[in-house]
Structure 1
C-alpha cells in the first residue's frame, strides 16, 4: 500500500520523492483505500505556503500565491482534465465524438472558459479562506472524486490507468476514504462548518458524476480531474458562506 501511495504522489503531483517510481497496477489498486491521504499531503504544503505569506496584508496577493502553489504542486494535471471534459461535454456532440474531442491535445473555447472560471474561483476563495480550509480543500477534493467515481464504469473502450482507478473503487475503498476525510474534518477547529461543507460537496460531486455518466456512459481520467477541481471550489465557497 505504501508503494501504491508513492505511485499516487509520483503520477498526480510534482512533489519530489527522491527516486523514480514505476507504475504497478496491483499496488496502485491496493492504495486506493488511502487515496484521500494524498490530499492531506497537498494540504500540508498549501498550509506551509499560507503560513509563509500570512503576514501579507493584501489578501489577494496571498490568494494568488496559493493558486500558483497549488498548480505547481499538482502540475495542473486535474486542470488539464477539467478543460478536456468541458470541451467534450459542452461540444454538442454525442458518442465517440465526445471522446475524440476530449483526447484532442488542442484546447477549445469551453476548455478555456472552464480554466478561467476554475483559476479565478480558486483565486477568490483562497484569498478569503483560513489555513484550515486551505488544508482541507485537497482532502475534500480527493474524497469527492472517490465518491463521484464509486459504482461507475470506465466510459472509454481503451484501457489504462483511468480504468484501474475508476473500476477499482468499491464500497470498501469508499468507506475507508470517507473515514479519512471524517478524521481530518473532526480535527479542524471549525469542525461543524467543515463537516457540513464537506458532506454537501460529496453529494454535489456524486450528482455531477451522475450527469456525466448519463452523457458519456461512465467516467474517464479527464472527468475525474473535472470532479476534483469543481468539488474543491464548491467546498471552499460553502465554508466561506457558512462562516458568514
Structure 2
C-alpha cells in the first residue's frame, strides 16, 4: 500500500497528504505499482467517457478531447512534459552533452512545441475514431495505461541512466531488481489473462504484450545511442508514446 501511495504521489495530481518512506523496498514497490496507478487513471477516464456518451449528444471528436484532457489533468502533464523535452533535445541534432542540457531546461523550444501539437492532435483524432466505431470497452481503458507503464518499468530495469544525478538516477539506484522483475512480469501475466478472459481478444492482447516488450528494447537502444541512457524525461516520453501507439494498434486490430 505504501508503494501504491508513493506511485500516486509521484505520478499523479491526486493529493497524498502523508510523508512516506523512500527506502529501496518502498521505491521498488512504487514502480511495481505504477502500472496499477495507470489502470486507476484509465478507470476514471472511462467514467468520464461513459458520462459523456450517455448524457450528451456531443461529437466523437469533442468527447475524445475531453477524455484525453482528463488523463492529462490526472498526470499533471508530467509524462507529456517528458515527451516535449525529449522532442526538443532529439530534434536539436546537437551533441549528447547539449541534448542533456536541453532535457534539463524547463523552457519549451520550437521543436518541442511542434511535437506537442502533432502528438495531441494525433491522440485526439485516433481516439475520436475509436469512439466513433464504438471500439472501446473498460478493459482497454484499464489495460492500455497499465501496459504503457509496465513497458516503461521494463525499459527502466534494462537501461543505464545517462547521468549519476537527478531523480531518474535516484530511482534506478533504489530499485531491488529481482523482486521488481518478478513483480512486474507476474502482474503482466495475471492482468493479461484476466483481460483475455473478459474480452476473449487473445490475439490483440498477445500483439499488445509482444509490441510493448519489443518497443522497450528498441527504445533502450535508441536512448543509449542518442542520450547515453535513460532519464526521467525519457521515462515520461515512453509512457506517452506507447499509450498513443497502443490506441492506434487497437483501432487497427479491432
Rate the CA distance shift 1:42–1:177 in 2: closer, same or farther, 3 A: same
5+ residue gaps, structure 2, are none
Q: Distance in 2 between matches of 1:119 and 1:182?
A: 31
Provide the residue aligned with 1:149 in structure 2.
156
Residue 163 (1) aligns with residue 169 (2): yes
Contact 2:85 2:108 (C-alpha < 8 Å) held by counterparts: yes
CA RMSD of aligned residues (A): 2.0
- 1:139-218 correspondence runs (5 A): 139-158=146-165, 160-167=166-173, 168=175, 170-188=177-195, 189=199, 190-218=201-229
How far apart are 1:15 and its partner, in Å? 1.8
Count residues with an aligned counterpart.
240
Residue 8 (1) aligns with residue 7 (2): yes
Provide the residue aligned with 2:45 in structure 1.
46
Contact 1:5 1:28 (C-alpha < 8 Å) held by counterparts: no
How far apart are 1:242 and its partner, in Å? 0.8
Q: Distance in 1 between matches of 2:99 and 2:122?
A: 26
5+ residue gaps, structure 1, are none
How far apart are 1:23 and its partner, in Å? 6.0
- 1:30-179 correspondence runs (5 A): 30-55=29-54, 56=56, 58-127=59-128, 128=130, 129-131=135-137, 132-158=139-165, 160-167=166-173, 168=175, 170-179=177-186
Poorly superposed stretches of 4+, deviation over 3 Å: 20-23
Contact 1:186 1:195 (C-alpha < 8 Å) held by counterparts: no
* TM-score, normalised with respect to structure 1: 0.89
* TM-score, normalised with respect to structure 2: 0.86
Deviation string for 1:105-153 (max 9, x for gaps)?
Answer: 1101221122122212221232215033222221111011012222211
What secondary structure is seen at the aligned counterpart in 1 of 2:53? coil
